[in-house]
Amino acid sequence: MLTLKKPYLLYLGDATIPTDAKTACGLRDWCPNDVLGEWSLPAATVSVGLTRIAPAAAAARGAGSFVIGIASVGGKLPDNWLPDIHAAIEAGMDIVSGMHTRLTSFPALVQAAAARGVQLHDVRHTDTRFPAATGRKRMGKRVATVGTDCALGKKYTALALTRALTARGVRATFRATGQTGIMIAGEGIAIDAVVSDFVAGAAETLSPDNAPNHWDVIEGQGSLFHPAYAGVTLGLLHGSQPDAFVLCHDPSRTHIEYFPGFPLPTLDDAIAQYTQAAHITNARAHCVGVSINSSTMSDAAWAAYARDHSRELGLPVCDPLRGGVDAIVDRLIALTPTSV
């Protein structure tokens, strides 16, 4: 199992788009005690609100890893970030990246890390060979988070559901499928880096047989409506075989982010299409709630939105960071066997 040295110094590079910093935000929000501060290039306009501290100073304060906190489109690691990464290596920190570009593809980084005795962790990549999916129904209960688009709350929702289920005495495990989730949980599979034929098989591996009253909470990836990333979403959905799913949405968006020619579906259409896709491997799969990123709404606007859409859809409509997900958890508990 991958073990990462903590605490982390989060690196934001030269980011100018806030949603690109979702890895840094996830670590800040879900394992704050493991995060020491942030660092970035002068051109960066994005901050996650942490103390700004240079690599050498962070290492002197005990930082164990320099974590690439950006998850940009395409996952390329820019050359102009390399001096800061070298500085972190020289300071004695491991380097942790969830980018598609491997740290080990830069010979100078490999050489510097070997000389300094530190590790380069490409969290998104693995040498593990996953099997093709079998479609076999596994014991235990599963809930998946799915979305109308990328980067709008699937990970946050899955973590919130896991925390809320556990708090109410229900056994639950967060199953990380992306680089940030893996950094938070300490284990998982970066599903979007698995060869397409084996995505569903990797999802089966990630969520094995369990006790009948145990919930695996499976972090979603991509979106069924995304022109580039729908494939990983479908494979993950089929392999997960969820009994329930939660639709995640950002009402401030009208189109797929970065793809203006692709409008977002309505919530009822999205639920219908996810239900149809999920029924391929679990005919009982159904939506148990909607998770909303309401950060752009006033309190009054959010209250009206949640009320109106809950009435329209016949489902709880929640924001994990603005009131929690208890109404959705109620529905999951109702699906949980009371005896084993």
Q: 162 near 173, Cβ under 8 Å?
A: yes
Same domain (yes/no): 150, 113? no
Residue 1's pLDDT band (cuts 50, 70, 90):
very low
Last residue of a domain, one of 62, 89, 122: 122
Residue 234: which CATH number? 3.40.50.300
- Does the residue 340 lie in any domain? no
Same domain (yes/no): 161, 104? no
Measure Cα distances from 274 to 51, 145, 267 in Å: 41, 11, 11
Measure Cα distances from 83 to 47, 71, 96, 120, 270 in Å: 20, 19, 15, 15, 44
Residue 96: which CATH number? 3.40.50.720
Share of the chain above pLDDT 70, in %: 98
Same domain (yes/no): 68, 206? no
Last residue of a domain, one of 71, 94, 122: 122
- Does the residue 275 lie in any domain? yes
- Does the residue 136 lie in any domain? no
Q: 66 near 27, Cβ under 8 Å?
A: no
- Does the residue 3 lie in any domain? no
Please list the residues that pair with 306 across neighbouring strands. Answer: none
Instruction: Please give the tally of structural domains in the chain.
Output: 2
* pLDDT tens digits, one per residue of 289-339: 999 999 999 999 999 999 999 999 999 999 999 999 999 999 999 999 986
Same domain (yes/no): 16, 151? no
The upper half-sphere exposure of residue 161, i.e. CA atoms within 13 Å in the direction of its Cβ, equals 37
Other CB atoms within 10 A of residue 44 CB: 17
The boundaries of the domain holding residue 269 are 141-334
Same domain (yes/no): 41, 185? no
Same domain (yes/no): 149, 253? yes
Same domain (yes/no): 226, 308? yes
- Does the residue 114 lie in any domain? yes
Same domain (yes/no): 45, 155? no
- Does the residue 27 lie in any domain? yes
Measure Cα distances from 122 to 1, 77, 154, 319 in Å: 13, 12, 22, 32
Last residue of a domain, one of 92, 122, 152: 122
Residue 19's pLDDT band (cuts 50, 70, 90):
confident
Q: 178 near 158, Cβ under 8 Å?
A: no
- Between CA 66 and CA 97 the distance in angstroms is 9
- Between CA 261 and CA 301 the distance in angstroms is 27
pLDDT of residue 75: 76
Count of helices and strands (H, E) across the chain: 11, 13
Other CB atoms within 10 A of residue 14 CB: 16
Average pLDDT, the chain: 95
List, in order, residues 6 or more apart from 86 with CB less than 8 Å away: 108, 109, 112
* pLDDT tens digits, one per residue of 261-300: 999 999 999 999 999 999 999 999 999 999 999 999 999 9
Residue 73's pLDDT band (cuts 50, 70, 90):
low
- Does the residue 42 lie in any domain? yes
* pLDDT tens digits, one per residue of 108-160: 999 999 999 999 999 888 778 899 999 999 999 999 999 999 989 999 999 99
Residue 340 has pLDDT above 70, yes or no: no
Please list the residues that pair with 39 across neighbouring strands. Answer: 11
Same domain (yes/no): 176, 84? no
Same domain (yes/no): 290, 153? yes
- Does the residue 130 lie in any domain? no
Same domain (yes/no): 222, 118? no
* pLDDT tens digits, one per residue of 28-69: 989 999 999 999 999 999 999 999 999 999 999 999 999 999
Q: What does the pLDDT average to over 101-114?
A: 96
Same domain (yes/no): 208, 65? no
